[in-house]
A = this chain, B = another copy of it.
Amino acid sequence: MRHKGPIGNQDLVKKINMEHTIRTILAHRPLSRAKIASLTGLNKMTVSSCVDLYLQKGIVAELGTTGTSRGRPPILIDIDETGGICVGVDVEINQFTVLVTDLSGKKLESEVYPLEDKDPLYFVEAITRILANLAGVHNQRRLGIVGVGVVIQGYYNHNTNIVGFSANLQEWNGFHLMEELSRRNPSLLFYVKPAPYAGAMGEIHFGRSRLVEHLVYVTSSWGMSVGVYNKGELFTGSTGTAGRLGHSTIHMNGKKCTCGNRGCWEMYASIKALYQQLEQTPQQVPFADIVDNVNRGDSQTTSAVHELGHYLGIGLVNVINAYNPGVICIGGLLGLLGQPLLNSIWGTLRESIPARFLEGLDIYCSDLGELGVAYGAVSLVLDQLPGTIIRYALLEQV
């Protein structure tokens, strides 16, 4: 059992510096070689050699000079964002959404497909056809499909690559999703994550939390869960179920939950709980109407949302104590409730946690909108993009 991490040699050195270079370009583009050198601390020549490699492979391009300051004008380098596409797939109960972006994350197209059959193999076959079609349409792009992020209902065991437990799509339980996807699409890279994890990653790449190191993403569509982003990566726990807080106990003698436990957070603070409080169903009152009612100031809805925020706040006490995040993002349908919900949450937090533990904490509602989860799926690809690019650039032959 050998010690972790690659061994040190020239290949590793090259890889590391190629990574510094591409990450810096991605973060500050467009950029001159000189600027890359000063930002990374790399030697000018090292930067030139890395950039040359990327240029050769057509991954970056020279944009020409811009004469702003004095001295020889810099040649701006930029990634060719049209050189490949990212695919994000959000699998819901009755449908799945496919979002296609360029390498900068800019949306190119999105489409919703029905999930006609709950059998996961149906999905695998369907997405395989869609991906084959996308590969054809975008075949002039040098890098093709750089990765496919798949956001699933339920948990995902990253050790076994098996769908762990999906309350909404029971047929998927125990399915070897990665294996089936990879077998049918051997040239493609897949990244599978549960929705709250992808939500967290989405906020880091597309939301208000670009440079954040510690974020917790809270989401409820019907049940509830959270995703934890910590110092550059998702906190998954040993088998991929970290953040299953919908079933954490906030009221030990409270309402009986479907999971068998009592007083689960999602019995009080989920969309499900909100509908119960309103004595309505989504069939009777679509969630958009509830949002409208809150924004209009409807008293019954407002008070229900206030109560929801109170219970959300109680659970967030536990989130804050458990993870000590710098930022909490409320996503999913919950996030659409906006400021009224936040006000209520803060009221409860201030009563429940000494102020020193709330200092600097930012809580906001996601503003990624309807495609939020699909953007989360794309962010799984973007997160690995530097590695993908480097591997391509360092290939011996094209």
Quick check: is A64 within 8 A (CB to CB) of the other chain? no
Asked whether, in the complex, the Cβ of A260 is within 8 Å of the Cβ of B354, the reply is yes
A237 to B228, CA, bound (A): 10
**Closest Cβ–Cβ distance, residue A14 to chain B (whole Å):** 7
Q: Does B238 lie within 8 Å of A214, measured CB to CB? A: yes
Contact check, B8 vs A15: say whether CB atoms are below 8 A apart: yes
Interface centre among A7, A214, A259, A311 (most CB of B within 10 A): A7
A8 contacts which chain B residues (CB < 8 A)? Answer: 12-17, 20
From B4, B7, B24, B249, give the contact of A250 (CB < 8 A).
B249
Between A and B, 19 residue pairs with Cβ closer than 8 Å are A2-B39, A6-B16, A7-B40, A12-B16, A164-B356, A165-B354, A238-B324, A241-B324, A247-B317, A248-B322, A249-B317, A250-B250, A250-B252, A251-B252, A252-B311, A260-B351, A260-B352, A261-B353, A322-B323
Interface centre among A1, A41, A236, A318 (most CB of B within 10 A): A318
Distance in angstroms from A164 CB to nearest chain B CB is 8
Shortest beta-carbon distance, A166 to chain B, in Å?
Answer: 12
1/0 per residue A53-85: CB within 8 Å of B? 000000000000000000000000000000000
Chain B residues near A103: list those with CB within 8 A. none
Residues 148-172 of A, flagged 1 when their CB comes within 8 A of B and 0 if not, give: 0000000000000000110000000
Q: Is the CB of A242 within 8 A of B323?
A: yes
A321 pairs with B40, CB closer than 8 A = no
Please name the 7 residue pairs, one residue from A and one from B, whose CB atoms are nearest each other, closest first.
A237-B324, A8-B16, A8-B13, A238-B326, A214-B238, A242-B324, A248-B318
Interfacial chain B residues near A241, Cβ < 8 Å: 321, 324, 357
Contact (A244, B357) CB under 8 Å given A2-B24, A326-B238:
yes
CB atoms of A321 and B247 under 8 A apart = yes
Q: Is A138 an interface residue (CB 8 A)?
A: no
A240 within 8 A of B: yes
Report the separation of the CA atoms of residues A2 and B253 in the bound assembly, to the nearest whole angstrom. Answer: 51
Q: Is A339 an interface residue (CB 8 A)?
A: no
- In the complex, A235 has a CB within 8 A of chain B: yes
In the bound complex, residues from chain B placing their C-beta under 8 Å from that of A164 are: 356
Query: In the complex, are the beta carbons of B2 and A245 less than 8 A apart?
Result: no
Q: Which residues on B sit within 8 Å (CB–CB) of A10?
A: 13
Beta-carbon contacts under 8 Å, A323-382 to B: 323-326, 351-354, 356-357, 360
Residues in chain B near residue A1, CB distance under 8 A:
211
In the complex, what's the smallest C-beta–C-beta distance from A264 to chain B, in angstroms?
Answer: 9
Residues 229-270 (chain A) with a chain B CB within 8 angstroms = 230, 232, 235-245, 247-254, 259-263
Interface assignment of A27: CB less than 8 Å from any CB of chain B? yes
The reply to whether the CB of A23 lies closer than 8 angstroms to some CB of chain B is: yes
Distance between A154 CB and nearest chain B CB, rounded to angstroms = 11
Interface string of A201-223 (1 = CB under 8 A from B): 00000000001011000000000
Beta-carbon contacts of A23-45 to B below 8 Å, as 1s and 0s?
Answer: 11001000000000001111000
Contacts of A243 on B, CB cut-off 8 Å?
321-322, 324
Check A9 for interface membership: any CB of B closer than 8 A.
yes
Q: Please measure, in the bound complex, the distance between the C-alpha atom of A243 and the C-alpha atom of B325, giving whole angstroms.
A: 11
What residue in chain B is nearest A244 (Cβ atoms)? B321
Give 18 new A-B contacts, CB below 8 A, not counting A7-B20, A242-B323.
A2-B39, A3-B39, A7-B42, A8-B15, A8-B17, A13-B13, A235-B323, A237-B324, A239-B360, A243-B321, A244-B322, A244-B324, A247-B317, A249-B315, A260-B353, A318-B318, A318-B322, A322-B322
Q: Judging by beta carbons under 8 Å apart, are A353 and B247 in contact?
A: yes
Given A7-B42, A17-B7, A239-B324 in contact, is the A253-B251 Cβ separation under 8 Å?
A: yes
**Contact yes or no, A317 B41, CB < 8 A:** no
